[in-house]
Amino acid sequence: METIYFDNNATTKVAEEVLEEIKPLFCDLYGNPSSMHTFGGQIGRRISRAREQAAALLGCDPSEIVFTGCGTESDNTAIKGALAAVPNKRKVITTRVEHPAVLTVCRELENRGYRVLELGVNRQGRLDLAELEEQIDDDTALVTIMYANNETGMVFPIERIAELARSKGSVFHTDAVQAVGKIPLNLARSDIDLLSLSGHKLHAPKGVGILYVRKGTRLSPFMLGGHQEAGRRAGTENVPGIVGLGKACELAAANLEEENSKVKILRDKLENALLEKCPDCRLNGDTEDRLPNTCNVSFEYIEGEAILLMLDKYGICASSGSACTSGSLEPSHVLRAMGVPFTAAHGSIRFSLSRYSTEEEVDYTIEKMPAIVNQLRELSPFVAK
Ligand code: PLP
């Protein structure tokens, strides 16, 4: 059997339609969009089209789209840029379950004299909105809370949170890297000021992202230099990346509901079978308010890394935490924040599906997993024999 790729929250395959769109941009249409000549000008028009395609998916105005180099850059720009624009306010509110692209920036802010509050989550990975409301005060410059968690897929009530932040005069940023393309968004009807997304999570190439900046939001640019992106992000544009991301947004918008309900059926089949067939296995997160593609389960008494290696032998790719932290044996900060016991956090596996996942792949994984778990438990020093 060919590779079964269930690690789509780490990165996704570039869609064939996207690849076709960007191919001519390497050797034929390679002009610089900032050039005065016609050759460069036609590239500029392709970037404008990509901006419109992205705006259509997000439900915003094309002028509110800023192309960046990745989700991490969008997050960094949003946080640092929003704070630089309101230097008199010194408090930032975030959560303990953010991606390192947000958490590391926030922790560094503490060294610069900011008060950073990391809100906790409950066992299902949910926030306490009353606590958030209480904590946003006059000194709060920024609230930055992810739309959907990359490890568990849990989706926060971002519209409500954005409304709260706005009512209290704070700027609101959301890291929507895992949400875009999986749940419908309409930014024109929301109070979100800043939103980050990343191309490689939605079947566009790596190395391109977007920062949505709501009209009127004050933001200092992160990259200084030329006047690309209306002075909001200097640097010659990654034209193939941008055009590819535009096409990927168009594909996502065209098939969002249909594709995601298909993905959810497959994810649920996999998840229910694992919970039923593998003893001492539990779901991390909740069945409600979750991305349709993500399944995070813990297998007690065994190591997630050992499961991954066995899955790998069968050509099945999954993950034992976020790809950025793999290589470290520390259990996931997200699962720890949810109060998942140490042993269960160590034995956690994330399966993340995509529109290209098939029922045959799910069935094959369901067939292999119980045997893998049994075999590893036989070897486990923690299981009474
Ligand atoms: N935010 C979240 C929630 C993510 O899952 C990721 C990547 O895994 C990022 C940010 C970083 O995005 P990028 O890899 O494009 O820098």
Domain at 226, CATH number: 3.40.640.10
User: CA–CA distance from 104 to each of 91, 99, 118, 317 (Å)?
Assistant: 16, 8, 12, 27
Last residue of a domain, one of 254, 288, 310: 254
293 and 332 inside one domain: yes
Domain membership flag for residue 142: yes
pLDDT digits (tens, 9 = 90+) for 112-125: 999 999 999 999 99
Which of 74, 201, 203, 333 to mutate to test ligand 1, by most ligand atoms within 8 A of the CB atom? 201
Task: Give residue 330's pLDDT.
Answer: 79
What is the identity of the amino acid at 211?
Answer: L
Q: Give phi and psi for 159, each to the nearest 5.
A: -60, -45
Contact between 380 and 302 under an 8 Å Cβ cutoff? The reply is: yes
214 and 78 inside one domain: yes
Closest to 189 measured CA to CA, from 147, 159, 216: 159
Average pLDDT score over residue span 158-169: 98
21 and 113 inside one domain: yes
Domain membership flag for residue 385: no
∠ CA 138-140-145, nearest 5°, is 140
Tokens of 99: 């991606």
Q: Is 310 in the pocket of ligand 1 (CB under 6 A)?
A: no
48 and 163 inside one domain: yes
DSSP letter at 370 equals H
User: Which residues are catalytically annotated?
Assistant: 324
Task: Give residue 323's pLDDT.
Answer: 44
The count of domains in the chain is 2
Domain membership flag for residue 384: no
Q: Which atom of ligand 1 is nearest to the CA of 209?
A: 15
Last residue of a domain, one of 254, 270, 289: 254
User: Per-residue confidence at 350, pLDDT binned at 50, 70, 90?
Assistant: very high
Task: Give residue 178's pLDDT.
Answer: 98
Domain membership flag for residue 36: yes
Q: Which atom of ligand 1 is nearest to the CA of 74?
A: 16
82 and 167 inside one domain: yes
∠ CA 353-354-357, nearest 5°, is 80
Q: Above pLDDT 70, what percent of the chain?
A: 97
Domain membership flag for residue 94: yes
pLDDT digits (tens, 9 = 90+) for 20-78: 999 999 999 999 999 999 999 999 999 999 999 999 999 999 999 999 999 999 999 99
21 and 8 inside one domain: no
User: Per-residue confidence at 1, pLDDT binned at 50, 70, 90?
Assistant: low
Which of 154, 194, 198 to mutate to test ligand 1, by most ligand atoms within 8 A of the CB atom? 198
Least confident interval from 181-190, 260-269, 341-350: 341-350
- Give yes or no for residue 321 having a pLDDT over 90: no
User: Per-residue confidence at 374, pLDDT binned at 50, 70, 90?
Assistant: very high
- Give yes or no for residue 327 having a pLDDT over 60: no
For 161, the domain range is 16-254
Last residue of a domain, one of 254, 287, 305: 254
Give me the chain's average pLDDT, please: 95
What is the identity of the amino acid at 305?
Answer: E
Q: Is 209 in the pocket of ligand 1 (CB under 6 A)?
A: yes
Expressed in angstroms and rounded, the spacing between residue 198 Cα and the centre of ligand 1 is 7
Expressed in angstroms and rounded, the spacing between residue 371 Cα and the centre of ligand 1 is 33
214 and 278 inside one domain: no
73 and 189 inside one domain: yes
Task: Give residue 382's pLDDT.
Answer: 73
167 and 45 inside one domain: yes
Task: Give residue 354's pLDDT.
Answer: 98
248 and 291 inside one domain: no
Largest CA-CA distance found in the chain, in angstroms, rounded: 76
Task: Give residue 2's pLDDT.
Answer: 87
CATH number of 366's domain: 3.90.1150.10
∠ CA 144-284-57, nearest 5°, is 45
30 and 84 inside one domain: yes
pLDDT digits (tens, 9 = 90+) for 215-274: 999 999 999 999 999 999 999 999 999 999 999 999 999 999 999 999 999 999 999 999
| Dist CA 381 CA 385 (whole Å) | 9
Q: Is 71 in the pocket of ligand 1 (CB under 6 A)?
A: yes
Q: Which atom of ligand 1 is nearest to the CA of 149?
A: 3
339 and 370 inside one domain: yes
